[in-house]
């Protein structure tokens, strides 16, 4: 298990936390492996009835650790490989037990798209949500191009995925992927109380209901893999190269002569 992912069993709730606040909880391959292992543990352990994602520091997660991500991009283009990030994402889509999240600060990239697989999401009034994939010359991931339009509607999904706008917790609530917005002081207790409540409910009925609410898991996973193939292809594109150079040079990317 990664030292930057905390996994604590709190009664029947498995609390899984991002714990790399000094790096804005940027996610490394090792952290993805830890997240995937935690979901597998929850799946296999009958004593776990619900999973709660949380984080330390002022960011939920800033998304992928760029340096670590670039070192491991080759695995994304191998159709026979299942890199840790895909293990985690498939684990989210396959989860039979309730998934909850407590978002206390900024959520970027996969920090947003993972929430689309959660059953209940609680956000602090100070939380923000940003999916700047197109700004990086990349497509969305985690089946977000399928799930976000379902949840929020096409135009609102386009606001995030196409226009790359950062939205507030109140706006995320309007979009439908946040259940409740609370004060920063109330977030942790609100989320754990909800997780304990679900964990106390009839487990087979809960799993069956969740399965019936999302019967097309295989479609979601297939869409996720399709996104990943496009992602791997665009990692080799001039657009991604320009976005990367702009990021390092702290300037706005110029795509005017590309495409």
pLDDT score of 2: 78
CATH number of 5-184: 3.90.226.10
Q: What angle do CA 110, 222, 17 make, to 5 degrees?
A: 30
- Quick one: pLDDT at residue 77? 54
DSSP character string of 94-162: H--S-EEEEE-SEEETHHHHGGGG-SEEEEETT-EEE--TGGGT----TTHHHHHHHHH-HHHHHHHHT
If you ran DSSP here, which 8-state letter would residue 26 be given? P
Q: How far is CA 138 from the centre of its chain?
A: 16
Whether 123 and 135 have beta carbons less than 8 Å apart is answered as no
Cβ-based neighbours of 193, under 8 Å, separated by 6 or more: none
**pLDDT tens-place values along the chain, 259 residues long:** 679 999 999 999 999 999 999 999 999 999 999 999 999 999 999 999 999 999 999 999 999 997 777 665 555 555 566 889 999 999 999 999 999 999 999 999 999 999 999 999 999 999 999 999 999 999 999 999 999 999 999 999 999 999 999 999 999 999 999 999 999 999 999 999 999 999 999 999 999 999 999 999 999 999 999 999 999 899 889 998 898 888 888 899 999 888 7
Any idea which residue has 């019936």 for tokens?
212
Q: C-alpha angle 212/213/216, rounded to 5°?
A: 80
Q: What are the backbone angles phi and psi of residue 121, rounded to the nearest 5°?
A: -130, 125
Q: Domain ranges for the chain, please list them.
A: 5-184
Within 10 angstroms of residue 62's Cβ, the number of other Cβ atoms is: 22
Answer for the pair 2, 65: CB distance below 8 angstroms, yes or no.
no
Strand order in the sheet with 13-18: 5-10, 13-18, 50-55, 99-103, 120-124, 180-182
């Amino acid at each position: 298990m990664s030292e930057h992912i905390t996994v604590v069993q709190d009664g029947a709730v498995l609390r899984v936390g991002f714990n790399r606040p000094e790096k804005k909880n940027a996610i490394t391959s090792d952290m993805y492996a830890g997240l995937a292992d935690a979901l597998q543990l929850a799946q296999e352990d009958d004593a776990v009835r619900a999973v709660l994602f949380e984080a330390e520091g002022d960011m939920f997660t800033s998304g992928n650790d760029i340096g670590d991500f670039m070192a491991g991009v080759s695995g994304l283009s191998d159709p026979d490989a299942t890199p840790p990030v895909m293990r985690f994402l498939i684990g989210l889509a396959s989860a039979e037990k309730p998934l909850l999240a407590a978002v206390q600060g900024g959520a970027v990239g996969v920090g947003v798209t993972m929430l689309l697989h959660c059953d209940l999401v609680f956000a602090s009034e100070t939380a923000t949500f940003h999916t700047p994939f197109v700004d990086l010359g990349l497509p969305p991931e985690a089946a977000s191009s399928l799930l976000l339009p379902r949840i929020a509607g096409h135009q609102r999904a386009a606001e995030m995925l196409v226009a790359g706008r950062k939205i507030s917790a109140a706006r995320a609530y309007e979009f439908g992927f946040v259940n409740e917005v609370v004060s920063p002081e109330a977030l942790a207790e609100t989320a754990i109380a909800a997780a304990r409540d679900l964990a106390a409910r009839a487990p087979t009925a809960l799993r069956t209901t969740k399965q019936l609410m999302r019967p097309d898991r295989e479609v979601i996973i297939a869409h996720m893999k399709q996104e990943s193939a496009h992602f791997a292809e665009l990692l080799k594109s001039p657009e991604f190269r320009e976005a990367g150079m702009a990021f390092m040079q702290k300037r706005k990317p110029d795509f005017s002569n590309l495409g």
